[in-house]
Structures are given as structure tokens and as C-alpha cells.
Chains A and B, each alone.
Chain A
Amino acid sequence: TQLLEQSPQFLSIQEGENLTVYCNSSSVFSSLQWYRQEPGEGPVLLVTVVTGGEVKKLKRLTFQFGDARKDSSLHITAAQPGDTGLYLCAGGFRFSNTGKLIFGQGTTLQVKP
């Protein structure tokens, strides 16, 4: 069974603090994606990383793909209440004939003003 383990599952912090969410697996992925989901809506893609060691930045969010392509992290600098939501990582396989992404359990982030 291919699993993606996210940690922590729940995080409550004050505005202005930094945080890191981790996504780990024993499987090697061809790509790793991060989605963000707000209440009442479906997940929306934030970023895709495909190269081991790759780092991508999206404003205050920094995403990193592990060198072995088995893990990833999401770091948020100076969190704001608008960052509140559910963050999901998802691993994909090259030319996957199963046609699916493997999703982590999600990390619920609450940023208090």
C-alpha cells in the first residue's frame, strides 16, 4: 500500500508565526503536489514539484521536494489568518496507468489574528 503521511494533522498558531508541514512516504514519486482546501470548497492546486531537491516559492510559502523524491515539506513564513485551511499533499507516478494521485490525510491549519 502506498501511503503519504502528513504531520502535524492539526496546527493552531498566532498570526506572524512560522510553520512547517511535512509529507513523508516510503514510495518514490515522479511528482508531489500541494493542495489547499477552504471550507465548502474543493482542493485547489498550489504547486507541483518534480525534481529531487527542488524548491519552489509562492509568496510566503516555500515547498521542497526531498532529494530521494519520497518526502516534501511546506513552510509558511509569517502566517496570516488568510492561510487558514486544510493543506493536502499528493504524490503522482510517471505515466501512471492507475490514473490516480495518492493523497495524504491533510493538515488543518488555523491562524489566529
Chain B
Amino acid sequence: DADVTQTPRNRITKTGKRIMLECSQTKGHDRMYWYRQDPGLGLRLIYYSFDVKDINKGEISDGYSVSRQAQAKFSLSLESAIPNQTALYFCATSVLSSSGTQETQYFGPGTRLLVL
């Protein structure tokens, strides 16, 4: 079974609709992230969470919100979807090395979102 799962894998929605993307992990990591990927722009951070009570905005959080329901679950919501939110969305978890010099991120398979 995959360590980081995302649902749905594909979603088509209309402008103005509210949608939620869900992420679950079995790795036992405290840190979780939401990214979006667009061609030529790499991965851009939307929100991240260090634990259930800690939520932080990333570089492109406008138009998005998140909820950390449990250590293993981190969901991303688009309150009112717009076409330029069409992208590939990835959830990731991570653990920091004891030396603090390395943070390996483990990614889910992604959700492909199309906003019409």
C-alpha cells in the first residue's frame, strides 16, 4: 500500500464551486505539505503543517485553505474555484534528520484538477 495517498486522482469542476482534495499518510510523519505543479514552474508551496495544531501559509496560499484533521490527514480546499487553479496538486510528508540538515519529502501520486 502507498504511504501517501491522495483522493481524488482526477477532478473536473466548474468556476465558483468549492472542492476539497484529501491526503492521508501512513508514514507517521508530523510534517505535511500541499504543492501545486504547473509546467515550467516546478513545485510551489501552498500550505504546510508541522503538526495538528500548526498550519502555515506557503508562497501561493491565496484562494486556498487547509485543515489538519489528524496527524495522518491534511486536506486542501478551494473555496471558490477559478480556471487558473487548474493544475496538478501534490501532498507530501517529511521528516527532518536529527542533524537538521536534511529533510526528505515523500510525495503522493497527485490530483489532476481542471476548473472550467
Residue contact A106 to B42, C-beta cutoff 8 Å: yes
How many chain B residues sit at the interface, stated as a range, is: 20 to 34
Residue contact A50 to B102, C-beta cutoff 8 Å: yes
Residue contact B102 to A41, C-beta cutoff 8 Å: no
Residue contact A95 to B42, C-beta cutoff 8 Å: no
Q: Which of A6, A45, A100 contacts B45 (CB 8 A)?
A: A100
User: What is the CB-to-nearest-CB distance from B106 to chain A, in angstroms, rounded to a whole number?
Assistant: 8
A27 within 8 A of B: no
Q: Which of B41, B48, B58, B90 contacts A42 (CB 8 A)?
A: B90
Residue contact A100 to B42, C-beta cutoff 8 Å: no
Q: Which DSSP category, helix, strand, loop or mixed, fits chain A's interface?
A: loop
Q: Which residue of B lies closest to A104 (CB)?
A: B42
Contact digits for B92-116, partner A, Cβ 8 Å, 1 yes 0 no: 1010100011111111111000000
Contact digits for A8-44, partner B, Cβ 8 Å, 1 yes 0 no: 0100000000000000000000110100000011111
- Bound complex: CA A31 to CA B34 (Å): 21
Residue contact A94 to B100, C-beta cutoff 8 Å: yes
Residue contact A43 to B48, C-beta cutoff 8 Å: no
Interface residues of A (CB under 8 A from B): 6, 9, 30-31, 33, 40-45, 48, 50, 88, 90, 92, 94-96, 98-101, 103-106
